[in-house]
Amino acid sequence: MDDTVIRIRDAVVSYREDVALQGVSLEVKKGEFIGIIGPNGAGKTTLLTVINGLGKLVHGQAWVLGTRLNGGNHNNLRKRIGYVAQVERIDPRLPINVRETVTVGCYGCLGLFHRPGRAHREKVDEVLEMVGIAHLAERPIGHLSGGEYQRAAIARALVQQPEIFLLDEPTASIDQKAQREILGLIQLVHREYSMTTLFVTHDLRMLPSICQRLILMKDGRIWQQGGPESMLKEEVLGQLYGTAVPAEIASSPRFHRDSSQ
Amino acid sequence: MDLSVFSYHFMQMAILAGVLGGVACAVVGVFVVTMHLSFIGVCIAHAAFAGALLGLWLGFDPLIGALLFSLAAAAIIGPLADRGELNPDTSIGIVFSLMLGLAFLFMGLMHGARTEALNLLWGSILTVSQGDMIFLAATTAVIVGLLAAFYKEVQAVICHREVALAVGIPATVIFYGLLFSTGVTVTASLQSIGGLLIFSLILNPAAAAYQLTYSLKRMIFIAAGFGVLSCWLGLIASYLFDVPSGAAIVITSTAIFGLATAFSPKRKVKGWQQAQLTG
């Protein structure tokens, strides 16, 4: 049986005059953990929006979890995809607490007129425990630190019980300790649930060592792709970013070790 | 104080209009305040006023004109604010000034006395007709009913709209539903509160409640309470000091907001909120 969960062919996406994706083709197998790197404006986030049905293709075709993306609203597809964006600025007075925010994850699947039952509440408790913020459950969401907020966002996505997990710069704008913890949590989640995961970052230091394949994007195209050991080389990354990349980042030993596993 | 005035039919109707208008305005106010869309709401309110004046000028029911204009304004402003073709403030400002311009144009084109037009501007809760009351009651019932039926979706959209869309909630439909319900509420309250003053009754009770709680459910109940209280206290002030009722209601609701802000437990947050956002 074909285990391809994402198939994109020659996708073109444009925002008015700007072409954000130009002729991107990609196949992703079930359970893969893929890192997507590239400079700002390379089209990484746009690629994720195509996958969750929010980016409109002006050319090309895309199938995600068996659904052909045709410009409709694709709410049913999004119920099956967890999405975590970078920390956003939240009004500290917002009248919603952490538990309620995490529970929003199951609202799409529940559908209109249905309220979360005991099973949903137990799932929320279980996930809050897993991501390490059970003690913050009753705190207003705007009162969390950046790292705690990302844990809540990951918890919300997990409550959704998604088949695909999209992470768009989840470690941007948070301190280094929190960044390491969030990366650890993302890897733990992948080991636990084996979800197909696409992890976008422009910061090479934030690439999880669990990555099986790296996609290098530049100017709206997939510039190169392959295993981390063949992509994370000084000369490749230097060309990708248009500037010298420090050797300790380019030849990160964690990838060479993990890729042999 | 002579309480015999409350035995009059017009006063009982005014008290009832205060309950219905106070609740409906406060509930849509919670949507507007939580989504930080106050300017959109002001714009919809002025569109309703312009539409009502068009009705008066051309001789059809002003409420129909108000309803059509406020819904049209919501339908134009929503995409303008969303698509980012222009800065939302700029595009809403343009629609707002157009609506105000149209309102004064229609008023200028009217022949004869403009008493009815001025009533729509200031509102008159003491002369609400039975038809207006039925429309207001129906609007309040529908808005409260829809909120109860779609509470979880409304909560997700007004607190985390992007997230709501990402988890598969029909966030765009809910968002436009909230904008349209603002338009309908403004229309229903136009006769009693007035086109220029209505938005204070939408904004102030909800903004006051926003200062006092982190629970959306509690915020809705507190806002509704403040809305009704503003109407009742405004009515009493209007009777005691012989001042226009709409103005008295709005000033009362602003005073409630001032008190809520002064005693807000959320003010204590401010110190470390900065550290958290930069952290």
Assess if residue B183 is contained within a domain: yes
Q: What's the domain count of chain B?
A: 1
Put simply, the answer to whether B163 touches A79 (Cβ < 8 Å) is no
Residue in this structure with the two tokens 């765009």, named with its chain if needed: B172
Closest Cα to residue A170, out of A57, A28, A44? A44
Q: Which residue of A has its CA nearest to B83?
A: A15
Decide if A89 touches B, using CB distance below 8 A: yes
Assess if residue B274 is contained within a domain: no
Assess if residue A95 is contained within a domain: no
Range of the domain at A75: 1-80+164-169+196-261
- CB-nearest to B160 from A101, A110, A160 is A101
Contact residues of B toward A, CB < 8 A: 34, 36, 149-150, 152-153, 155-156, 159-160, 162-170, 172, 210-211, 213-216, 218-219, 266, 269, 273, 276-277, 279
Assess if residue A182 is contained within a domain: no
Q: Which residue of B has its CA nearest to A101?
A: B156
The CATH number for A225's domain is 3.40.50.300
Assess if residue B276 is contained within a domain: no
Q: Output the pTM of the full model.
A: 0.89
Assess if residue A219 is contained within a domain: yes
Put simply, the answer to whether A76 touches B167 (Cβ < 8 Å) is no
Assess if residue B278 is contained within a domain: no
Put simply, the answer to whether B276 touches A145 (Cβ < 8 Å) is yes
Assess if residue A56 is contained within a domain: yes
Residue in this structure with the two tokens 């207006």, named with its chain if needed: B132
Assess if residue B269 is contained within a domain: no
Assess if residue A231 is contained within a domain: yes
Range of the domain at B196: 7-261
The CATH number for B108's domain is 1.10.3470.10
pLDDT per residue rounded down to tens, chain B (279 residues)? 667 777 888 889 999 999 999 999 999 999 999 998 888 888 988 899 999 999 999 989 999 999 999 999 988 888 877 776 667 778 888 889 999 999 999 988 988 777 778 888 777 788 888 888 999 999 999 999 999 999 999 999 999 999 999 999 999 999 999 999 999 999 999 888 888 788 889 999 999 999 999 999 999 999 999 999 999 999 899 888 988 888 899 899 999 999 999 988 877 655 445 554 444
Instruction: Please write down the HEC assignment for all residues of B85-107.
Output: CCCHHHHHHHHHHHHHHHHHHHH
Query: What is d(CA B236, CA B240) in angstroms, rounded to the nearest whole number?
Result: 6
Which residues on chain B are in Cβ contact (under 8 Å) with A89?
277
Assess if residue B270 is contained within a domain: no
Two tokens, residue B134: 């039925």
Q: What's the domain count of chain A?
A: 1
